[in-house]
A and B are shown apart, each in its own frame.
Chain A
Amino acid sequence: MIVQAIGAAFLQLLQMGLVLVAAPLLTGFVSQVRARLMGRQGPPLLQPFRDLLRLLRKEAVVQDETSWLFTATPFLVFSTLWLAAGLVPTFASGLALAPAADLVALVGLLAVARVLTMLAALDTGAGFGALGAVRQSLVAVLAGPAMLMAIFAVAAAMRSTSLPRMAEFVLSGGVEPRLSLAIALLALTMLALADNARMPVDGPGAGSATIGGATSLEYSGRHLALIEAAGMLRLLIHASLIACIFVPWGMALPGDGALAPVIGLGAFAAKMAGAGVALALTEVLSTRIGIRRLGEYGGWALMAGMLAAIFLSVSLGA
């Protein structure tokens, strides 16, 4: 029992460290692949680490008349998302903190991070940053519920909202491929794109059309580093969440041998690489939707989540 607990704690520690490394790597990998797809050489794979390091070493300029909330938000958002990322099983499922938060609580943590970001943007008071908060609020209002509805469908199929249990359930072959799960996957993917300010919802370099960047306009130095790192963590959370629920294969289960976590790491790296390529392809191939269509997009994601849940609840009863 104690050995098991120590093992779980060790895995958890490993996981907390792993996500910190994996998140910038995933972001760097996506931009590298995207650059290659566009025929460019692109920034080096490790560039996100360099960017973060550079920002950490810089002075932080804090806008007049902002409150403690503005300076505390980067730390809180980062640690919230760090915790959230640490809760999603990546290479091994037997994590010590698993009972702290299930999938529903994970959505709650993401919501906390979003609310804090918006409040910090409102704290800067005016102009475009506040408009960024407005736009993010629209994403937030649509993303949270849509995600929960998709989770509803998945959780109903897997009889649990606990991520390790879900992964184990899939691994044990307890779930057959269903249409509803495919729709739920679609909904979760759409949300991942929206929540991470990725194409087709949003994308880098779009000036006044951006959602994601606008809220961090006034941040600088270490605060900005933490906000950017949190963004990378958010991307990793969504990617590993989808990987954990829909392709848990390769993940080390509590009973497996000592080599299993190593295999799990390899499998996780492969999954993230796959997710990165898919994301880069989506970004290169898609057109950014206008913000006036954002409501529709979110509505479709919500509908997809609903539909998945409805299909599932109908088919379960039959």
Chain B
Amino acid sequence: MLVRILGNLLRRPPVIPGPGPAPGAEAELAARLDRLSHVRLGRSLAIRQIDAGSCNGCELEISALGNRKYDLERFGLRFVTSPRHADVLLVTGPVTHNMREALYRTWQATPDPKWVVACGACALDGGVFRGSYGVAGGIDQVVPVHLRISGCPPSPAEILAGLVALIEHSARPGSAVGVGPREESVADVAQETVEPPRVAGGVGIHEAHGAGQVLAAPAERGPDRDLGS
């Protein structure tokens, strides 16, 4: 083991070349958020993953981001346990009614500026589970979504591309959403949130994979609030 570990120092890591930011996503993100207040977080983002009722396929792929091949940490991204430490909520699954409150509370516990990334087909609009009595349908029904990563499940490379777009974006001045106290309830947020465009088509056998793309969605929020207000 020692030999292998020391050998690792000499070997080149088997990492894939860093995926560039997903095309289009960054421009979208910037266009949507620039009018909000200017906070620059730099090349460092902490991610709190939330499973809001997914089939755990997305979780498998998200976990894979930590392995040597994708090596999430080289971009300055890392997963954290407490939402208090997080900047990004990476949410998967069609929000089940049973997880609705928990998702909202976690969102509320996260300090501003923060982003919500909807990851996977179900997270966008409920996916195959849309219409069930148990499912609220789409993350944006509960919290505002800033970035959407489709696919069932999206491959690690696709998730990584989305997250890299986000970090590129956060490294640029004038990126993040405002900071301010808020007291809304789940219902308020849901009302505030405009129905974002849905991904065309369901998830079929052949389009399920490789068709993953990153879409940016508007985050319609209340009136802009400046830092420190």
Binding site for B on A (CB under 8 A): 31, 35-44, 47, 50-51, 53-54, 57-61, 207, 213, 217-221, 224, 281, 284-285
Contacts and interface: CB of A to CB of B under 8 A. Distances in A.
A36 B111 contact: no
Contacts of A207: 81
B45 interface: yes
8 contacts: A36-B13, A39-B68, A61-B109, A207-B81, A217-B82, A220-B85, A224-B85, A281-B5
B227 to A, nearest CB: 8
B145 interface: no
Given A39-B14, A40-B13, A224-B85, A59 B111 contact: yes
B76 A218 contact: no
A124 to B, nearest CB: 10
Interface of B: 1-2, 5-6, 8-9, 11, 13-15, 39-46, 68, 71, 73-74, 76, 78, 81-82, 84-85, 87, 109-113, 179
B13 to A, nearest CB: 5
Main secondary structure of the interface of B (DSSP, over half): loop
Contact of B42 (A36, A40, A50, A213): A50
A189 B83 CA distance: 33
A220 B76 contact: no
Nearest to B86: A220
Given A39-B14, A43-B74, A213-B81, A60 B8 contact: no
Contact of B44 (A31, A42, A54): A54
A37 B8 CA distance: 5
Contacts of B6: 37
B76 A40 contact: no
B81 A40 contact: no
Given A217-B84, A285-B2, A41 B76 contact: no
A41 B112 CA distance: 30
Contacts of A36: 8-9, 13
A20 to B, nearest CB: 18
Nearest to B113: A58
B41 A38 contact: no
A191 B8 CA distance: 28
Given A58-B112, A61-B111, A220-B111, A39 B13 contact: yes
Given A39-B13, A41-B15, A42-B71, A53 B44 contact: yes
A284 B4 CA distance: 11
B181 to A, nearest CB: 9
Contact of B41 (A42, A44, A57): A57
Given A35-B71, A36-B9, A51-B44, 15 more contacts: A37-B6, A37-B8, A38-B68, A39-B11, A40-B73, A41-B15, A42-B73, A43-B73, A54-B41, A54-B42, A59-B112, A60-B111, A218-B84, A220-B84, A220-B111
Contacts of B40: 57
Contacts of B46: 51, 54
B84 A219 contact: yes
A135 B8 CA distance: 34
B78 to A, nearest CB: 8
A41 B2 contact: no
Contacts of A38: 5, 8, 68
| The 9 A-B residue pairs with the shortest CB-CB distance in the complex, in nearest-first order | A220-B84, A50-B44, A39-B8, A59-B111, A54-B44, A41-B74, A59-B112, A54-B41, A43-B73
